[in-house]
């Protein structure tokens, strides 16, 4: 497959309600959409590292720059028979997983369209329902949080993720567990703690959490391994798993018992599949994570989550959870039972009017640019 052209869009999507985590607050989601063209075929990808490098070291601005000015010109005008061929071409560049993913996922989406094969089938998944969990960021009050949890429980969600940060952690969790003694919860620390906070982690051992997601510094496998030795609650790694090698090291050091796989963070779908293989062989379940993408990126996550080792309910949301109107058509919607169906026809694509309204910058990349 020859990549003839890349159209790169920096978009800003207003949220219905601010998303608050240990690293701050987002009122808009800054994302990068890429339209890849091969002959008469077009396909879309999305990479969403947020406005500032708070989640990891990339931002929407850096992804837009690297795809449009560095990586894109380096890959267009060439044939890539496999995604591995494309990744080999990109390997000369260090890091920048979200930027690489924006291009690599486009290759997979093109391959799906050209072959007429649903993306989840190309990835090795099955046409099966994908179960989603409910997630809540830091709320304005305990009462607000408890009300939202009750709505999620009543709606039949199988588990709930709670964002925590210092000042919104132990007291909040004790209140939640008292109100919902038997429900499945896990927490997400977004790297907001250190080993000095061991008393906090020991204190929540008795709360019966499914796991603690990314408690410590994003680049520190060794400290996560040490924490895992000292507490009973399983650890799940998210921000730490930025490459296949990082996953190998985490598994080897027993730093985690779960892995969250996000296609953007891991550098694309090929790396996501490789990490899933490693985790499966080690007996570690995985689950798909989202970055509040539009339906373009969220649909990719649904397709990935059809693989057999994705057993924990994913961070997948209907478009209406965060956006008054999704940038893409069709919007992502639940089927009965809070599940998503994989796409057997074309994946969602940006609505031209919505894309124009949300676009901050656009650049085309063709051979010779």
The domains located in the chain, with CATH, are: 2-116+352-365 (3.30.390.10), 121-349 (3.20.20.120)
pLDDT digits (tens, 9 = 90+) for 225-265: 999 999 999 999 999 999 999 999 999 999 999 999 999 99
Which pLDDT score, from 0 to 100, does residue 252 have? 98
pLDDT digits (tens, 9 = 90+) for 108-148: 999 999 999 999 999 999 989 999 999 999 998 999 999 99
- Average of per-residue pLDDT values in the chain: 96
- 67: DSSP letter: I
Is 262 one of the catalytic residues?
Answer: yes
Task: Check pLDDT > 90 for residue 34.
Answer: yes
Which pLDDT score, from 0 to 100, does residue 107 have? 98
Closest CA to 231 of 189, 265, 260, 287: 189
Selected catalytic residue, list 163, 166, 178, 202: 163
How many CA atoms within 13 Å lie on the side-chain side of 149? 28
Task: Check pLDDT > 90 for residue 193.
Answer: yes
Task: Check pLDDT > 90 for residue 369.
Answer: no
Residue 300 near residue 105 (C-beta atoms within 8 A)? yes
Q: CA torsion sign, 226 to 227 to 233 to 235?
A: negative
* Beta strand 130-131 pairing with 78-79: unpaired
* Beta strand 212-213 pairing with 185-188: parallel
> Distances in Å between the alpha carbon of 32 and those of 64, 82, 322, 349?
6, 23, 17, 13
Dihedral angle computed from the Cα positions of residues 29, 157, 231 and 282, in that order, rounded to the nearest 10 degrees: -90
Selected catalytic residue, list 35, 100, 161, 262: 262
Helices (H) and strands (E) in the chain, counts: 14, 17
Is 163 one of the catalytic residues?
Answer: yes
């Amino acid at each position: 497959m020859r990549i003839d052209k890349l159209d790169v869009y920096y978009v800003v999507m207003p949220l219905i309600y601010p998303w608050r985590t240990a690293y701050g607050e987002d009122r808009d989601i800054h994302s990068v959409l890429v339209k890849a063209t091969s002959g008469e075929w077009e396909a879309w990808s999305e990479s969403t590292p947020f406005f500032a490098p708070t989640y990891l070291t990339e931002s929407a601005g850096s992804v837009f720059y690297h795809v449009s000015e560095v990586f894109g010109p380096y890959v267009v005008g060439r044939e890539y028979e496999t995604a591995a061929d494309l990744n080999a071409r990109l390997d000369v560049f260090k890091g920048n997983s979200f930027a690489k993913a924006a291009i690599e996922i486009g290759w997979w989406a093109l391959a799906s369209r050209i072959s007429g094969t649903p993306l989840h089938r190309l990835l090795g998944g099955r046409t099966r329902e994908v179960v989603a969990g409910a997630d809540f960021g830091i709320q304005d009050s305990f009462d607000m949080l408890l009300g939202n949890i009750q709505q999620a429980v009543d709606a039949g969600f199988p588990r709930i993720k709670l964002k925590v940060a210092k000042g919104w952690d132990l007291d909040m969790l004790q209140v939640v567990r008292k109100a919902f003694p038997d429900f499945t919860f896990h927490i997400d620390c977004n790297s907001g703690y250190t080993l000095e906070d061991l008393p906090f982690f020991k204190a929540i051992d008795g709360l019966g959490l499914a796991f603690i997601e990314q408690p410590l510094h994003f680049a520190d496998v060794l400290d996560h391994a040490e924490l895992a030795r000292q507490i009973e609650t399983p650890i799940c790694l998210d921000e730490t798993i930025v490459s296949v090698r990082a996953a190998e090291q985490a598994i080897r050091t027993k730093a985690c018992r779960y892995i969250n796989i996000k296609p953007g963070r891991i550098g694309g779908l090929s790396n996501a599949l490789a990490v899933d293989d490693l985790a499966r062989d080690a007996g570690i379940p995985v689950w798909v994570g989202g970055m509040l993408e539009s339906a373009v990126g969220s649909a990719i996550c649904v397709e990935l989550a059809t693989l057999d080792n994705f057993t924990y309910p994913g961070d997948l949301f209907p478009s209406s959870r965060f956006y008054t109107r999704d940038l893409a058509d069709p919007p992502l919607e639940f089927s009965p039972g809070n599940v998503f169906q994989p796409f057997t026809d074309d994946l969602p694509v940006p609505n031209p009017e919505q894309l124009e309204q949300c676009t901050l910058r656009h650049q085309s990349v063709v051979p010779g640019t």
